[in-house]
Amino acid sequence: MSRIAQVIVLAKYADEVMEPLTRHDESRSWKGVFKPLGLFVGGWVIEFHRERPRSGLLKHLESLPWPNPEQVQVLIHDEEDDCFGLWMLYDGALVEVSLPRVQRFHPPAPLTYEYSPSPGFLWRTDGEAVVPTGFSTERQDPRPAW
């Protein structure tokens, strides 16, 4: 399944860190370029139209020399998510932050690695959404989707 996803990076005083990510670089595992949002706080956005070209993005962002790592926020919204997910740097790793009344549900893991790993679906739990059979909150595919 091909999905569209948006990733927003918010980081104060990180123009120098993010500048190389605004240019194409074929050596990166993920493909595309970030575009500045023009916010005072410092914000950039990228859109992915397929799952495969985004693999390795979070690891790449973790490795950057952030001037204020405690203020880095990464917001990710996949096409079928109810809301943006939030990742923040903790001990050098980007970790998804739990949001109230929101849960990530995962489909069963694929039988082969022919397909890209799925990040699952971020759904609100306070509505009337019905979780499809076979989905769970535990990670089903051990490969990182981002």
Burial of 65 (C-beta count, 10 Å sphere; 0-12/13-18/19+): exposed
| Tens-digit pLDDT profile for residues 50-66 | 766 888 999 999 999 99
Give the burial string for 71-109 (b: 16+ CB within 10 Å, else e): bbbbbbbbeebeebbbbebeeeebebeeeeebbbbbeee
Give the whole-angstrom CA distance, residue 66 versus residue 126. 36
| Tens-digit pLDDT profile for residues 24-33 | 999 998 999 9
- Which regions of the chain are under pLDDT 70? 1-2, 51-52
pTM: 0.89
